[in-house]
Each structure stands twice: as C-alpha cells, then as structure tokens.
C-alpha cells in the first residue's frame, strides 16, 4: 500500500477509535498526572501501535502522553524530549516524571533528551522519525521552530501531531499562534500536506500527513 494512504488510514482510525476511548491504553497510565483528556491519550497510543513507528515526542510534562505512546506498544521507537522548563531531571517536575517512569516500568524503553528542543543535537538520533508530536511552548516562534528544525531527522513521509491547537484562541495578542507557527513552518519547508485534521477536543489538536518535496 502507498505509504501516504497507509498513514492517512492510520490517523483516521486512531481518531475514530479515540473518540470511543478505544486503544491498548491501560488504566494505570490514564491515572498518571496529565493535563490531557482521555481521548488524546488514546489517540497517541493508537498512533504508536504500529510496528514501524519511529516517534519523537517533544514536551510531556509529568509523562502522561509519553507513557501513552509506549503503553502496550512494544515495537515503537521513542525519542522523548523535554527540558522540564530548562531545569532538567533535577527539578521537582523532572523528578516527578522520573518516578512515574520508574513506577510504571517504562525506564529503558525510550531515549530521554533533556536539552531544549531548540538545541538538541541530531547526532542523538539513530532513526528517521515518521511520527512527530509537538507539545512544548506554543507561542508562534516556538511552534514554528518546534516543527521546522526537525527536518534533517524526519522521514520523507511522516505524521505530525500538534497539541493545544486552539490554545490561544481567546488571547488577542497570540490568537491562533500554534496554527500560524505550524503552517508557516510547513510552508517554509515546502512540505506537501496530503491531509489535515483539526480536532476541537479540550484545547484541540492539529494532525497532518506530510511529505517532503
């Protein structure tokens, strides 16, 4: 099957199943401290359920969405990037994440990168990424860089998921910042948008199947 059609099918199924809270996600992971509603966690779990997924997860707070990517998905390759607001694992947030990871048995199942996403070395990656999830800062410039700078390690066709898609809708100074930053990065990189979904659950998600030119 054509890879573009395959990825579109994966996203459509993942969205539909998550609407019904259907995935392999365990109740223990759903109980981890997270700012996300359950459909989002099911969505991430579903998108990582295929054996060929090579996933970069940028921003995960206490780990809820990252653990959703890993839970019952033994074949997924995961790179996890969060600086914990620039304070690393020694911060209270970093320590809480580390405890959650250990308690849930996820240690050793992902590669943790605690540099700012703007400074991460591409030499740390041994795989081309075909599922990029961005959930770090959502001001326009951060959102732009959070998509734009990863190009060297992205596969030719990949899925992009941006959380907090509607985050600034009611702020006149940053209105639509996540959307504007994302779309500008896609345009500047010359990516072809094969399909786009905008989910209005919680603070929203934008999902894309993209292809490099």
* Predicted pLDDT of residue 153: 99
Query: How does the average pLDDT of the chain come out, rounded?
Result: 94
**pTM above the 0.75 mark?**
yes
Spatial contact of 117 and 56, defined as CB atoms under 8 Å apart: no
Tokens of 77: 């390759």
The closest of 162, 65, 46 to 110, measured between CA atoms, is 65
Strand 205-211 vs strand 192-199: parallel, antiparallel, or unpaired? Answer: antiparallel
CATH of the domain at 159: 3.40.50.150
Mean pLDDT for 61-80 is 96
The structure tokens listed for 45 are 């779990």
Domain limits for position 18: 3-211
Question: pLDDT tens-digit profile of 100-158?
Answer: 999 999 999 999 999 999 999 999 999 999 999 999 999 999 999 999 999 999 999 99
* Domain count for the chain: 1
Tokens of 175: 């209105």
């Amino acid at each position: 099957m054509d890879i573009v059609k395959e990825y579109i099918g994966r996203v459509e199924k993942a969205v539909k199943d998550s609407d019904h809270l259907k995935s392999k996600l365990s109740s223990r992971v759903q109980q981890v401290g997270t700012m996300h509603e359950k459909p989002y966690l099911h969505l991430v779990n579903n998108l990582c359920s295929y054996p060929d997924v090579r996933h970069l997860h940028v921003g995960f707070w206490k780990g809820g969405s990252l653990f959703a990517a890993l839970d019952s998905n033994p074949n997924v390759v995961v790179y996890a990037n969060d600086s914990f607001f620039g304070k690393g694992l020694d911060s209270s947030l970093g320590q809480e994440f580390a405890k959650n990871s250990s308690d849930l048995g996820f240690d050793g199942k992902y590669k943790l990168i605690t540099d700012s996403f703007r400074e991460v070395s591409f030499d740390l990656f041994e795989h081309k990424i075909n599922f990029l999830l961005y959930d770090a800062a959502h001001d326009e410039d951060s959102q732009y860089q959070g998509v734009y700078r990863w190009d060297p390690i992205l596969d030719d066709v990949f899925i992009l998921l941006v959380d907090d898609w509607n985050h600034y809708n009611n702020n006149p100074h940053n209105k639509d910042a996540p959307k504007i930053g994302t779309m500008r990065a896609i345009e500047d990189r010359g990516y072809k948008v094969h399909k786009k979904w905008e989910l209005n659950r919680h603070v929203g998600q934008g999902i894309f199947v993209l292809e490099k030119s």
